[in-house]
């Protein structure tokens, strides 16, 4: 059985407050976030991580997931990847200048 989670978020709704950011980014993601130069790139990065983690949360409703403990990376093709326990999770992310949409499929 496959579980699917989907999330969409408006980029400009993201808040650049450190107390908000640190609750939702892993330590590795936080380091990457700090290298971003523009306000928009920071908001887009946060929206992407948020949408992916929300989609994962929806695909794994029985798991107790803590967002800052989920580390989303990219593979050699730029596709988002994640490792949570023994789950095989496929992720997809798309965005434009306004919105980010993420899909997580747990196999």
Annotated binding-site ranges for Mg(2+): 7, 54
- The phi-psi region of residue 47 (left if phi > 0; otherwise alpha if psi is between -120 and 50; otherwise beta) is alpha
Between CA 91 and CA 70 the distance in angstroms is: 13
For 47, the enclosing helix (H) or strand (E) is helix 39-59
Q: What is the rounded distance in angstroms from the CA atom of residue 38 to the CA atom of residue 81?
A: 25
Binding site membership: which residues? 7, 54
Q: Other CB atoms closer than 10 Å to residue 79's CB: what's the count?
A: 12
């Amino acid at each position: 059985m496959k579980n699917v989670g989907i999330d969409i978020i408006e980029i400009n709704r993201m808040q650049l407050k450190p107390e908000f950011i640190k609750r939702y980014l892993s330590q590795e993601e936080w380091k990457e976030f700090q290298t971003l130069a523009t306000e928009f790139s920071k908001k887009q990065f946060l929206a992407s991580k948020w949408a992916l983690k929300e989609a994962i949360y929806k695909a794994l409703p029985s798991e107790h997931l803590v967002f800052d403990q989920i580390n989303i990376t990219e593979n050699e093709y730029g596709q988002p990847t994640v490792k949570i326990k023994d789950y095989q999770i496929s992720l997809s992310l798309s965005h434009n200048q306004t919105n980010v949409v993420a899909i997580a499929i747990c196999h």
